Amino acid sequence: MPEGTGHGRRIVIGIGNPDRGDDAAGRAVVGLLRDAAPEGVELVEQDGEPTALLSRLEGAASAILVDACHSGAPAGTVRCFDVANEPLPRAFFGLSTHGFGLAEAVELARALGRLPAACRVYAIEGASFALGAPLSPPVAAAVVSVASRLRSELEPAPERGAERCTRHR
């Protein structure tokens, strides 16, 4: 996790609907982390319902959220946003079936003082969100890549500098 997060609660939340193709990307990343997460890292899969997300973030020192996005980039493109320091671009995350998307949930957490001091969002560009569809091949490959990166980031390594998100507009 980024420097300065202390020894507080760390959480990784995989967001998405497992029955809607590439929308399951976030949950698939968490599924791959289940057998390899370091002690003290909480792994959660959820559908993205805003009040549940706010509840999970409360009291966390650091959080990583992983979700599918749809911005028009090639399927499997991975972006990382440091949402502790800047808003999540709404254009990447449309409204959910609840009428309230991830960008709005993050900003509500910020406004309520529930956004962890260290908070990043990994966005995996999806291609197919059809009911009953599996992950598309480029998204499945991105899921493996993000899970691998998170395994490295979550391991305590004082000699290694903290990973940083690349700034995206």
pLDDT score at 101:
79
Q: Looking at the whole model, is its pTM more than 0.75? A: yes
Give the end-to-end CA distance of the chain in Å, rounded to a whole number: 23
- SS3 category, 15: strand
Q: Which helix (H) or strand (E) holds 146?
A: helix 137-154
Is the distance from CB of 24 to CB of 166 less than 8 angstroms? no
114: Cα separation from own chain's centroid = 16
In angstroms, rounded to a whole number, what is the distance separating the alpha carbons of residues 42 and 62? 11
DSSP class of residue 136 equals -
Residue 88 is predicted with a pLDDT of 86
For the chain, what is the mean pLDDT? 85
Structure tokens at 37: 């997460």
What distance in Å separates the CA atoms of residue 116 and residue 168, rounded to the nearest whole number? 20
Looking at the chain, the whole-number percentage of residues with pLDDT higher than 70 is 82
Tens of pLDDT along 35-86?
Answer: 888 888 999 999 988 889 999 999 999 999 999 998 889 999 999 999 999 9
Who has greater pLDDT, 40 or 33?
33
Backbone Cα Rg of the chain: 15
For residue 51, the model assigns a pLDDT of 86
